[in-house]
Amino acid sequence: MEDYEKTYEEFWKNLVENPDGTLNKDAIMRELFDFSFVMENVTKVYCEITNNRISKANTYAEEIIREYWNTVEGHMQLWKDDILQMIGEGETISYEELKKFLDNY
């Protein structure tokens, strides 16, 4: 059995078929409506958290997660570099000055 057939049998069949095995057009339309909503919104989320590098709704979650963490780590390095540059090597900065800088950052 192909993957798509297995998915149909295990997931979709009971949602879109009548008890006699015929297709339920209303149920299919409702499921397709929900699916299109999910795909549209997943695409928006993927674009947002990957800085528009990934937009395909059928992208594996692992790819999105990896791209997200790469972005976060990159931002953290930039923040660290900015803070170190602000305080200067060997200089001290008060908590209040650091807090003010971070609030404005």
Tens of pLDDT, residue by residue over 68-105, are 888 888 778 888 887 777 777 666 778 887 788 778 76
* Neighbouring-strand partners of residue 61: none
Same domain, 54 and 74: no
CA-to-CA distance for 100 and 53, rounded, in angstroms? 33
Clarify whether residues 38 and 88 are in a common domain: no
Check whether residue 53 and residue 79 sit in a common domain.
no
d(CA 5, CA 15): 14
Instruction: Report the domain count for the chain.
Output: 2
pLDDT of the residue at 71: 84
> Are 13 and 52 within one domain?
yes
Predicted structure pTM score: 0.63
Residues 50 and 27 in one domain: yes
73 vs 53, higher pLDDT? 53
Phi, psi dihedrals of residue 23, rounded to the nearest 5°? -75, 140
Same-domain check for residues 28 and 5 = yes
φ, ψ of residue 66 in degrees (nearest 5): -60, -45
Same domain, 104 and 84: yes
Q: Does 46 share its domain with 76?
A: no
Domain with 13, as residue range(s), is 1-59
Give the angle 38-36-22 at the CA atoms, nearest 5°.
115
